[in-house]
Amino acid sequence: MGVNSKVKAVFLDRDGVINKAVIVNGLPYPPGSLKELEILPGVKQGLKQLKELGYLLIVVTNQPDIARKITPIKTVEMMNNYLKEQLNLDDIYCCIHDGTDNCTCRKPKPGMVYSAAEEWDIDLVNSFIIGDRWKDIETGINSGLRTILIDYNYNEKHISADYTCSNFSEAAQIIKSLTHK
């Protein structure tokens, strides 16, 4: 495909961005089951707006609890499939490794973004990542995406994003204001 035929995308973290994270000691964790999975307010409408602007919606999520034997892969797949169906997501890329596995897909490494860009013919320069943690923002920086941080003031390292907001609706509005159809 030629340069002009490339598509644009919004890459999304999962836990804390499209669904509620479980907060323990100021740090976010994924829900442990489909029953605990709760889509955050404003996400459905915000994703619908981004879709109408012509963006692919692609989730890139670290799920190390699989490698840590805390959450079975089937449970994570059920949650991902539910979110994909409920939110009209185009794809979900999931790193199932732990930090010590030294894989190329675990954020902040850009492996999942690069895989999606190749598979979907995505123009990274005209695409975004929305995340709630430094690893998401660093992934965006490492892969040439414009970065949006939904800042929940977690008790962890902070790095500067291109844009900062307090919820998904605001993140969608930032992208809408920057998009030229």
Smallest CA-to-CA distance from 180 within 20, 77, 55 is with 55
Active site residue 132: no
Q: Which amino acid is at 173?
A: Q
Residue 1: pLDDT above 80? no
Averaged pLDDT, 77-96:
97
Q: What is the reported pLDDT for 181?
A: 54
Task: Look up 162 and say whether it is catalytic.
Answer: no
Q: Which of 13, 65, 132, 136 is catalytic?
A: 13
Q: How confident is the model at residue 122 (pLDDT cuts 50, 70, 90)?
A: very high
Q: Look up residue 3 and give its two tokens.
A: 């340069």
Amino acid in the structure at residue 119:
E
Mean pLDDT over the full length of the chain: 94
Catalytic residue among 15, 65, 132, 136: 15
Given a contact cutoff of 8 angstroms between Cβ atoms, the answer to whether 50 and 172 are in contact is yes
Q: What is the pLDDT of residue 2?
A: 46
Percent of the chain clearing pLDDT 90 (strictly above): 92
The DSSP symbol for 40 reads: P
Query: Where would I find the H helices in the chain?
Result: 43-52, 73-87, 111-120, 134-143, 168-178
Domain 3-178 CATH superfamily: HAD superfamily/HAD-like (3.40.50.1000)
CA 128 vs CA 56, 108, 116, 137, 146: distances in Å:
10, 15, 13, 10, 5
Q: pLDDT tens digit string along 13-61?
A: 999 999 999 999 999 999 999 999 999 999 999 999 999 999 999 999 9
Nearest by Cα to 20 from 33, 39, 34, 35? 39
Percent of the chain with pLDDT over 70: 96
pTM of the model: 0.95
Distances (CA, A) of 67 to 70, 101, 143: 8, 9, 25
- Please give the pLDDT value at position 99: 85
Q: Are 169 and 45 in contact (CB under 8 A)?
A: yes
Q: Is the pLDDT of residue 87 over 90?
A: yes
Q: Map out the domains of the chain as residue ranges.
A: 3-178
pLDDT in the model for residue 4: 57
pLDDT for residue 50:
98
Cα–Cα distance measured from residue 148 to residue 2, given in angstroms and rounded to the nearest whole number: 28
